[in-house]
């Protein structure tokens, strides 16, 4: 089973930075680092930066997805 079949937000082509960071259990600063490293793709819509959902899915598949229990990995912040 692929990541894209497990997540309900995959149907949306873009996500706000805050939402993308929360989904990845990382800070917005870390999200910008992922962009600088070419791991996720941003675009601009209405003057705001947003993250392309397909790039998040690809990144999750690259790192092996999320733990099955939904808990963050060591070194990642917990979501609220």
The pLDDT confidence band at residue 11, using thresholds 50, 70 and 90, is confident
Domain locations in the chain as residue ranges? 3-63
| DSSP characters over 65-80 | ---TT-PPPTTSPPP-
Domain 3-63 belongs to what architecture? Orthogonal Bundle (1.10)
What is the tens place of the pLDDT at every residue in 21-63? 998 999 999 999 999 999 999 999 999 999 999 999 899 888 8
pTM recorded for the entire structure: 0.69
Q: DSSP character for 8?
A: G
How far apart are the C-alpha atoms of 73 and 53, rounded to whole Å? 21
Q: Mapping DSSP to helix (H, G, I), strand (E, B) and coil, where does residue 42 land?
A: strand
């Amino acid at each position: 089973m692929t990541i894209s079949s497990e997540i309900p937000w995959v149907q949306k082509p873009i996500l706000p930075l805050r939402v993308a960071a929360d989904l990845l259990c990382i800070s917005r600063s870390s999200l910008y680092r992922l962009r600088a490293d070419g791991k996720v793709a941003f675009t601009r819509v209405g003057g705001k930066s947003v993250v392309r959902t397909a790039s998040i899915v690809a990144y999750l598949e690259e790192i092996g997805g999320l733990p099955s229990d939904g808990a963050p990995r060591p070194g990642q912040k917990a979501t609220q």
